[in-house]
Amino acid sequence: MSDTLRHVSRALPHDSARKHVAGTAAYVDDLPEPHGTLHLAIGLSPAARGRLIDLGIDAVRAAPGVVAVLTADDIPGRNDIAPSLNDEPLLATDRVLYFGQPIFLVVATTRDAARLAARLARPVVEKETPSVTIEDALARGETVLPDYAFGRGNVAPALADAPLRAQGQFRIGGQEHFYLEGQVALAIPGEDGEMLVHSSTQHPTEVQHVVARILGVPQALVTCETRRMGGAFGGKESQATQWAALAALAAHATRRACKLRLDRDDDMQITGKRHDMRADWDIGFDSDGLIHAIDLQLNARCGCSADLSQGVVDRAMFHADNAYFLPVVDIRSKRLKTDSVSNTAFRGFGGPQGMLAMERMIDAVAWSLGKDPLDVRKANLYRPGHDETPYGMRVTDADTIHAIIATLEETAHYRERRAEIAAFNAQSPVLKKGLALTPVKFGISFTLKALNQAGALVNVYADGSVRLNHGGTEMGQGLYQKIAQLVADEFGIGIERVRITATTTAKVPNTSPTAASAGTDLNGMAAIVACREIKARLAAYAATLWECDADDIVFAEDALSAGNRRMSFKDAAASAIRERISLSSTGFYATPDLTWERDKGRGRPFYYFAYGAACSEVIVDMLTGENRVTRVDILHDVGRSLNPAIDMGQIEGGFVQGMGWLTTEELVYDSDGRLRTHAPSTYKIPVASDVPEHFQVMLHPGANREATVHRSKAVGEPPLMLAISVFAALCDALHSLAPGKLVPLDAPATPEAILRAARQIAPGDLF
């Protein structure tokens, strides 16, 4: 069987593009509401830590339009929404865990009635002083998970023996997802305790499981359906569950459809963020800038429960080498418990934090030696003979990152611009320019091995149309489109024959979240497996008919053919069905070759690495800290692209989101543990004018060396970390104020932070 590619690798528009521009693509809140649908609002905890004495909800119950007020006591099953440990309730019971934690649920005839009623509550909490910061949690010694470490060699003597040494503490801020579509769910009760939940979730299976757990019914009674999300970025991986479960609880209690759409300010306050971290680092190196040893401790602020913190902080550790060989290394981590909403997945899943810490150390080495940071970066890259990561996996394709950096250095004119910038800075006392070129090496696979599986269900109908279901969810990343392209080319049919359908647990069960950038790798493979099963049956049928070998049957141009025999795909389907041949098949895929053993801290957690590099230039006003990114050049490796338009979009969007994280997006909590930046008015998300006009993205040519779908590479997360080049460029500009000094800039590099750093590094010079 051979196939020709009509769709794969083409820059086709997103499958819903036409509907999106016409305003007809339905999100959960747009679905027609069943008659009598009720609306929900949540009562929020007025304190971050303490004993919940009384909900104070008498007035709520009496408010107009209120149908029911539900509390933890009304949960028929187990009051537990945690994805891993049993450490997070749906509704608070005797203790509150964070400011704004849901403590009761109002069910009313309209959304406004529900929200107005919720405000009438007068909950009583016996308050305790909350742990808000990393330091608070360290002082209390409270964690959500045990400490974890891995590494190689004996670090203390290696550090002591190193010719040169630098140390520091580096703060890395969190990030709000700000998916444009907020959290939302619609639950519709059925017969015999069945429940259908439309949820904006990356993980329909988990929603199904948790709803079943909360309601105390078998999982087979619960269906979760997700057609599309208006963005997710990790924020709907584990944390869409709570809202779906609340909707289901209310639907169960009232026997009516119930909808919960969080108000945006509430959404920002009561859903988890990217983990903020404090990296305590110590590096030994020599006068060539070669790293001898690293001791790194990542202190992660996990919030009130474990949620996904094990994977997130592990991934931060896995990426604390970025693309560099660390001969002797100790990477340790603390998973700190704070009295704040549980921090969660966010594009990169901890990887960006680990990588940023490493790049800070590289910069420190370069500054102390007076070298160009790019030279220090290049000197330490993985290379033959120096290719083993701190966790024992070998990097066998480091030549890719060497090639990417070499090319980008040329095409972005790094050296010329370095000289121009030095000249500019020498004659410009207030405005300073900065430049940086930084690499990305990102491991692809879930580090929790069990999640590296996917299923699909493909049905071919008598008219030759195809219905495609798989476990992946669509959040804008173009997964549905890519998989439809794969399926169309497997069957050799036009993509218009492939009907993409909503993801539902009723059709493809026991799925993993769409996360870890692995959506296409996993679900695309599963869909191909299903297609090939059906093709094999059709080919066998045609081979009998034509008295030829099944291997000689070609699926192309909407037909099956062998030599001069030809039958349209439609006719083949219709006659195969008459011959009692099944044209429906499931497909299943599990990533091969993964051998990670967490307890030993060694093995192969990733199927492969995705690479990229970015070169960014900035200009900073050192009197105000105001700055602009003036030019960005990116070269990124997506293997053999399945759809270059979609992949370029992921790179551009990921970069800008990463840039926001490292520059303007600042989460401010007060001492009560209350988030004060809970709207885009105070939490600055990049807008069109923050992105430079010179923003050039190129795809690095070359196939994935592992056997992925058409040798493509995952693209969802890695590009976010290209934005580290912006942070490094800002540091570079600051460094020009006081060459040789360590730039005391933490992330995010807001104008205030830049100004503080400038004053610290060059006191009196300018001010």
655 in contact with other proteins (CB under 8 A): yes
Nearer to ligand FES, 156 or 180 (CB): 180
CA distance 177 to 262: 14
Interacting positions 686-705 with other proteins (CB under 8 A):
686-689, 691, 693, 695, 697
Comparison of 184 and 562: residue with beta carbon closer to other proteins:
184
- What's the Rg (C-alpha) of the chain? 27
Q: Which two tokens stand for residue 684?
A: 């600055």
The minimum distance between CB 441 and other proteins, in angstroms, equals: 22
Shorter beta-carbon distance to ligand FES: residue 133 or 269: 269
Selected from 1, 3, 5, 26, the binder of other proteins by CB under 8 A is: 26
Which CB, 426 or 688, lies closer to ligand FES?
Answer: 688
Per rule CB under 8 A, is residue 680 in the interface with other proteins?
Answer: yes
Q: Is 653 in the site for other proteins (CB under 8 A)?
A: yes
**What is the footprint of other proteins within residues 466-485 (CB under 8 A)?**
475-478
**Closer Cβ to other proteins, 11 or 220, answer by number:** 11
Query: Which amino acid would we find at residue 416?
Result: E
**Residue ranges in 250-269 that form contacts with other proteins under rule CB under 8 A:** 263-265
Q: Site for other proteins (CB under 8 A): how many residues? A: 59
Examine residue 10 and tell whether it contacts other proteins (CB under 8 A): no
SS3 (DSSP) at 667: coil
Helix, strand, coil percentages (3-state) for the chain, rounded to 5, are: 35, 25, 40
**Residue list 208-247, contact with ligand FES (CB under 6 A):** 231
Among 431, 581, 594, 645, contact with other proteins (rule: CB under 8 A): 645
Of the candidates 197, 565, 642, 163, the one whose C-alpha atom is nearest the C-alpha of residue 365 is 163
* Total chain residues near ligand FES (CB under 6 A): 3
Is 119 a binding residue for other proteins by CB under 8 A? The answer is no
Question: Does position 35 bind other proteins by CB under 8 A?
Answer: no
Rounded-to-integer distance, Cα 142 and Cα 526, Å: 42
- Least separation in angstroms between CB 655 and ligand FES: 15
- In whole angstroms, give the CA distance from residue 267 to residue 609: 34
CA pair distance 511, 451, nearest whole angstrom: 8
Structure tokens belonging to residue 283: 């590096």
Return the number of the residue (24 or 411) whose C-beta is nearest ligand FES. 24
Residue type, 54: D
The Cα–Cα gap between 246 and 261 comes to 11
Q: In terms of Cα–Cα distance, which of 89, 186, 206 is closest to 511?
A: 206
Residue 399 makes contact with other proteins by CB under 8 A: no
Minimum distance of ligand FES from residue 476's CB (angstroms)? 5
557 binds other proteins (CB under 8 A): no
Catalytic residue among 88, 359, 617, 717: 717
Given ligand FES, other proteins, none, residue 646, with its beta carbon under 5 to 8 Å by kind, binds: other proteins
176 a catalytic residue: no
- Which residues ranging from 173 to 192 are in contact with ligand FES (CB under 6 A)? 180
Do strands 694-699 and 627-636 pair parallel, antiparallel, or not at all (unpaired)? parallel
Q: How far is CA 597 from CA 284, 319, 556, in A?
A: 28, 17, 44
Q: Could you say which DSSP state residue 613 is in?
A: E
The structure tokens listed for 443 are 């491991």
d(CA 751, CA 664): 8
The token duo for 42 is 């949540």
Residues 364 to 383: which contact ligand FES by CB under 6 A?
A: none
Identity of the residue, 278 or 347, whose beta carbon is nearer to other proteins in the bound complex: 347
Establish if 19 lies at the interface with other proteins (CB under 8 A). Answer: yes
Closest approach of other proteins to the CB of residue 263, in Å? 6
Q: Which does 694 bind (CB under 5 to 8 A by kind): other proteins, ligand FES, none?
A: none
Residue 480 interacts with, from ligand FES, other proteins, none (CB under 5-8 Å by kind): none
Minimum gap (Å) between residue 108 Cβ and other proteins: 14
Q: How far apart are the first and last CA of the chain?
A: 73
Chosen from other proteins, ligand FES, none, partner binding at 540 (C-beta under 5 to 8 Å by type): none
Shortest spacing between CB 391 and other proteins, in angstroms? 32
- One-letter amino acid of 241: T
Q: What is the phi-psi region of residue 191: left when phi exceeds 0, alpha when psi lies from -120 to 50, beta otherwise? A: beta
- SS3 annotation, 656-687: HHHHHHHCCCCCCECCCCCECCCCCCCCCCCC
CB 70 within 8 A of CB 250: yes
**CB distance 298 to 279 below 8 Å:** yes
Q: How far apart are CA 245 and CA 213, in angstroms?
A: 9
Among 29, 388, 571, 672, binds other proteins (CB under 8 A): 29
Query: Residue 547 burial by CB count (10 A; 0-12/13-18/19+): exposed, middle or buried?
Result: exposed
Minimum Å distance from CB 345 to ligand FES?
A: 18
Among 476, 660, 686, 716, binds ligand FES (CB under 6 A): 476
- To the nearest whole angstrom, how small is the minimum distance from the Cβ of residue 36 to other proteins? 15
CB of 264 or CB of 418, closer to ligand FES: 264
Q: Give the number of C-alpha atoms closer than 13 A to the C-alpha of residue 676, restricted to the C-beta side.
A: 8
CA-based torsion, 132, 138, 140, 144: positive or negative: positive
Q: Determine contact, residues 726/663, Cβ cutoff 8 Å.
A: yes
Identity of the residue, 265 or 399, whose beta carbon is nearer to other proteins in the bound complex: 265
**With respect to other proteins, which residue has the nearer C-beta, 112 or 551?**
112
Three-state DSSP state, 206: helix
Picked from other proteins, ligand FES, none, the partner binding residue 477 (CB below 5 to 8 A depending on kind) is other proteins
The runs of H, that is alpha helices, within 629-710 are 644-662
Residues making contact with ligand FES (CB under 6 A): 180, 231, 476
Sites of contact with other proteins (CB under 8 A):
11, 13-14, 16-27, 29-30, 32, 112, 177-182, 228-231, 233, 263-265, 475-478, 645-646, 648-649, 652-657, 679-681, 685-689, 691, 693, 695, 697
Catalytic residue numbers, as ranges: 717
